[in-house]
């Protein structure tokens, strides 16, 4: 008898360690349910109370009309509707993902807490994987300087994947702290705070990454940002370096009717809004990397150094029809004077039809090679397979990666094929091409 009890115990213990649990959230669920497929929970917040590292919460498709009564916590002046503070561990993420083939949409138009900012998902936990759902209609209720967010991250080693943040007044994704986070294949679009301050949505970026000290190695890959009233991707006030890899920014600084609103940069790499001597600047100054990215018709600059006090790395980017395609403007920390950009490294970049092409670049104080301006090659329409901007919002591939489109792909015979410098990335033909898309035929 004793032996049997021991065996049963052993099995139970082993099972606990070997098998992860699966829970369900559904529009017609209840938080009094057990969270099974037939008796799902109503909220992700409830699911968090039962999950352990390695567990998966499947979110069923449909429209989740979020309410103020669901606000889980108030913190730092934010009404955090869903507050995720339970962490997974390395190799055992906690997954909150869409049920395969279904699209959950969380709508926040009814969440208007007086005097509070709104964070639809406020994440302080680590080793969390969020995937495959939409956040829309996030509100701003404060009339003075403020902002709201679809996702605010403070944790580390999190994965934000295939999330769609759109048609609200909030920033899409916003990081203030945490390291080693991956923001993968997400879209932020048509976000505009038309209520606070002057109603121009001057804080409504698609993606903002502003890590505190220690927030290293955050990577944005395969993300798109368009028609956000401020910037597409913004790295102002960062203590650590960030990487943008294969991301697209277009039509930022405009509302969806192309009315001019906020700043309107595609990729804003750094800066501190430094206005007086003695303001604290990180040491070392972070060197951001922007590579294989595409910026199209952003109101101000496609690729912008934003008065940063150091250089960034700009590799294989393509810019088209931005107010200025590449603006490397820097600022001196010792005198707070704006100066042409120094310490930047620019390789293999390509621009066409900018209001201005390259501004504020002190080439003698930067490392530049094989860019279109170094080669003194002016692009023409005949260099490209297509310049049809409507392709930029094409549906993603089934795995969530960016669509394969002809936009700004080089045409056979283009003078930009094989004219790049080998800087260690995979290429086809004799040498890398210029711009974000390697010609493959």
- Provide the binding-site residues for Ca ion, judged by CB under 5 A: 205, 230-231, 234, 418, 427-429, 433
Residue 387, classified by CB atoms within 10 Å of its CB into exposed (0-12), middle (13-18) or buried (19+), is middle
Least separation in angstroms between residue 429's CB and Ca ion is 3
Written as six digits, the tokens of 239 are 């203590």
Q: Give the list of residues 6+ apart from residue 269 with CB closer than 8 angstroms, or none.
A: 235, 288, 290, 303, 304, 305, 306, 308, 312
Q: Which is nearer to Ca ion, 95 or 117 (CB)?
A: 117
Tokens of 14: 């082993």
* Residue placing its CB nearer to Ca ion in the complex, 98 or 370: 370
Work out how close the CB of 137 gets to Ca ion at its nearest, in angstroms, rounded to a whole number. 21
Least distance CB 202 / Ca ion (angstroms): 7
CB of 203 to Ca ion, least distance (A): 6
CB of 399 to Ca ion, least distance (A): 25
Look at residues 346, 322, 325, 349 and name the one whose alpha carbon lies nearest to residue 416: 349
Helix (H) or strand (E) holding 11: helix 2-18
Q: Which is nearer to Ca ion, 64 or 416 (CB)?
A: 416
DSSP string for 372-397: HHHHT----GGGBSB--GGGGGPPPP
If the CB atoms of residues 107 and 306 are measured against Ca ion, the closer one turns out to be 306
Shortest Å distance, C-beta 419 to Ca ion? 8
CB nearer to Ca ion: pick between 155 and 264: 264
Cβ proximity to Ca ion: between 141 and 316 the closer is 316
Least separation in angstroms between residue 433's CB and Ca ion is 4
Our measurement of the distance from residue 1's CA atom to the centroid of its chain's CA atoms, rounded to an integer in Å, reads 59
3-state secondary structure of 313: strand
- Residue whose C-beta lies closest to Ca ion: 429
Question: Which run of H or E residues covers position 202?
Answer: none
Closer of 132 and 201 to Ca ion (Cβ): 201
Q: Are 106 and 64 in contact (CB under 8 A)?
A: yes
Cβ proximity to Ca ion, 376 vs 430, nearer residue:
430
- Of 6, 29, 150, 162, the residue nearest 95 (C-alpha): 162
Q: What angle do CA 295, 296, 301 make, to 5 degrees?
A: 65
Minimum CB separation of residue 35 from Ca ion in Å reads 39
| Nearest Cα to Cα of residue 185 among 209, 151, 166, 162 | 162
């Amino acid at each position: 008898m004793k032996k049997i009890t021991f065996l049963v115990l052993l099995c139970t213990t082993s099972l606990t360690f070997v098998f992860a649990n699966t829970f369900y959230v559904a529009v017609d669920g209840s938080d009094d349910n057990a969270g099974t497929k037939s008796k799902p929970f109503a909220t992700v917040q409830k699911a968090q109370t039962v999950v352990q590292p390695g567990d998966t919460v499947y979110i069923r498709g449909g429209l989740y009309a979020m309410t103020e009564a669901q606000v889980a916590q108030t913190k730092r002046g934010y009404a955090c509707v869903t507050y995720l503070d339970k962490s997974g561990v390395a190799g055992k993420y906690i997954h909150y993902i869409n049920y395969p083939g279904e699209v959950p949409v969380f709508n926040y138009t009814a969440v208007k807490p007086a005097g509070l900012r709104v964070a639809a998902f406020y994440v302080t936990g680590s080793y969390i994987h969020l995937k495959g759902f939409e956040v829309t209609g996030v509100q701003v209720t404060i009339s003075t300087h403020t902002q709201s967010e679809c996702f605010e991250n403070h944790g580390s080693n999190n994965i934000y994947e295939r999330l769609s943040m759109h048609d609200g007044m909030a920033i899409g994704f916003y990081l203030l702290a945490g390291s080693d986070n991956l923001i993968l294949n997400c879209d932020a679009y048509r976000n505009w705070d038309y209520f606070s301050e002057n109603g121009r949505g001057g804080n409504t970026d698609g993606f903002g990454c502003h890590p505190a000290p220690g927030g290293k190695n955050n990577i944005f890959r395969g993300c798109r940002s368009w028609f956000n009233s401020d910037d597409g991707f913004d790295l102002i006030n960062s203590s650590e370096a960030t990487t943008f890899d294969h991301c697209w920014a277009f039509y930022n600084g405009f509302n969806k009717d192309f009315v001019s609103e906020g700043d309107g940069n595609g990729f804003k790499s750094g800066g501190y809004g430094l206005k007086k001597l003695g303001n604290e600047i990180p040491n070392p100054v972070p060197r951001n990397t922007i590579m294989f990215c595409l910026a199209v018709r952003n109101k101000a600059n496609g690729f912008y150094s934003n008065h940063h006090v150091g250089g960034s790395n700009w590799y294989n980017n393509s810019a088209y029809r931005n107010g200025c395609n590449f603006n490397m403007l820097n600022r001196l920390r010792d005198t707070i004077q704006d100066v042409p950009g120094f310490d930047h490294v620019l390789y293999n970049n390509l621009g066409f039809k900018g209001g201005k092409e390259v501004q504020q670049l002190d080439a003698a104080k930067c490392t530049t090679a094989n860019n279109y301006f170094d080669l003194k090659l002016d692009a023409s329409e005949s260099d490209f397979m297509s310049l049809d901007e409507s392709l930029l919002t094409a549906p993603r591939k089934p795995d969530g990666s960016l669509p394969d489109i002809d936009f700004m792909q080089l045409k056979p015979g283009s003078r930009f094929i094989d004219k790049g410098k080998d800087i260690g990335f995979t290429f086809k033909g004799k040498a890398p091409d210029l711009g974000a898309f390697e010609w493959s035929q």
